[in-house]
Each structure stands twice: as C-alpha cells, then as structure tokens.
Amino acid sequence: MMRIGVLASGRGSNFQAILDGIREKQIDGEVVALVVDSPEAGAIARAQAAGIPYFVVERKDFAGKAEMDGRIVEILEGKRADLVVLAGYMRIVGKELLGKFEGRMINIHPSLLPSFPGLDAQKQAFGHGAKVSGCTVHFVDGGTDTGPIIEQVPVYIGDCRDAHEVAERILPYEHKAMRTVVGNFSKGKYVVEGRRVRYEGGL
C-alpha cells in the first residue's frame, strides 16, 4: 500500500479527491500526512474529519526557505511517504525538499502546460481569450510548473464569463485527473524518458 504525503495551502478539494479515491479503492494507498503552510487552510478540517495527522509549517516560523523545507522533509520522511502530492500548495519547492523526493513528487496545475504557468492560471487563460484550457498533472522539478507532464485534461472555456467561472469549470477535471494519476502510482509506475512520461501498469 502506497504511503502518500500531501502539501496544500487552501481549501483542499484536491486533497479530498485523493481521500475519496482511497475510499472508493481507485487508489491503493493511505495519506500519512497533510502539511499546510497556514493554520487557516481549509484542508485541515478535511484531515481532521478523516483522522489524518496534519502539520502547520509556516514561513514566518523559520529563518529561511531552506529551513522551512527541511522541516517538511523531516515530517514526510518521518511518515515514510512514498509519493508527495502538491495539491494546491502555493509555494515553490526548494532543492532541499525536491532533492529528497525527486521523481516521487507531483503537482496539479489548472491549465494545459506549458500554457499559463504560475499563479492565476485560470485568470491568465480567460484574459488571453483561450477557448480551451484544462489541467495538468506533472512531476515537480526546479522550475515553476516545468516538470515532465504526466496527465492532461482539456476543458472548453469559451463561454465562461469570468476567471472564477473558468476555475470552477476546470476544478472537477482536476479532481478526476488527481485520482487517476495517484491511483496509477499506487498500482504501477511512471517512466520518464526525456520530456515524455510513459505509464507502466501494475497488477
């Protein structure tokens, strides 16, 4: 059974998607820790409801980013996490954290990368007049939303009236993609060949 660590900053709907996937046996694993960067994160209530240990790691409590990331590494290694999922985690992952989990850390982003990376991807897509956007699950590397792409789902947004509507339309597809990819990790493996990612299913 795969041991999953989740990092989140907000309401935690993608974290909930993982919990739902485990409950419905799409994911053969368990969430062993939730790490949030704010005591106000809505994801905390979801962890409490599911009986999952959570840890608040705030930037203000550390001398620097490296020290903060070191604390997160300590938590995840202490819980023996096999896979680390950034589920709406709004901080850049530093080399201290990435170095420990490279190839085992994934992120979900609300656009079809490489289009509209970084913050406010839905606002970027709406402002650009894009008719199709979507979501991307990718490996985390040292850049901003630049890691090898694991899964993408296109979503038509041409009739959306504002960026909020774009975000709400894409969100259910994020949940589905998250469950699919984490479920695949729990049953097989993803092989990275240059920029391309290939899935080798398990039993």
CB–CB of 127/149 below 8 Å? no
* pLDDT value for 85: 98
pLDDT of residue 171: 97
Q: What is the pLDDT of residue 31?
A: 98
Catalytic residue of the set 109, 138, 164, 175: 109
Q: Whole-angstrom Cα distance, residue 190 to residue 177? A: 15
Q: Is 128 a catalytic site residue?
A: no
Q: What pLDDT is stored for residue 195 in this prediction?
A: 93
Q: Which residues pair with 183 in a beta bridge?
A: none
- Give the angle 119-154-202 at the CA atoms, nearest 5°: 100
Q: Are the C-beta atoms of residues 47 and 34 closer than 8 Å to each other?
A: yes
What single-letter DSSP state applies at residue 145? S
Residues 143 and 92: their CA atoms lie apart, in Å, by: 8
Q: So where are the chain's domains?
A: 2-200
- Which pLDDT score is estimated for 202? 62
HEC per residue, 63-107? CCHHHHHHHHHHHHHHCCCCEEEECCCCCCCCHHHHHHHCCCEEE
CA atoms 52, 58, 61, 64: torsion sign:
positive
pTM for the complete prediction?
0.95
pLDDT along the chain (203 residues), means of 10: 97 97 97 97 97 96 92 97 96 90 96 96 98 98 94 98 98 98 96 94 64
- Architecture in CATH of 2-200: 3-Layer(aba) Sandwich (3.40)
Residue 201: per-residue pLDDT: 77
pLDDT given for residue 142 in this prediction: 87
Q: Is 42 helix (H, G, I), strand (E, B) or coil?
A: coil
Say what the pLDDT of residue 73 is: 97
Nearest to 83 by CA among 42, 27, 43: 27
Which among 112, 111, 93, 110 is positioned nearest to 102, based on CA atoms?
Answer: 93
* Rounded Cα gap, residues 74 and 80, in angstroms: 10
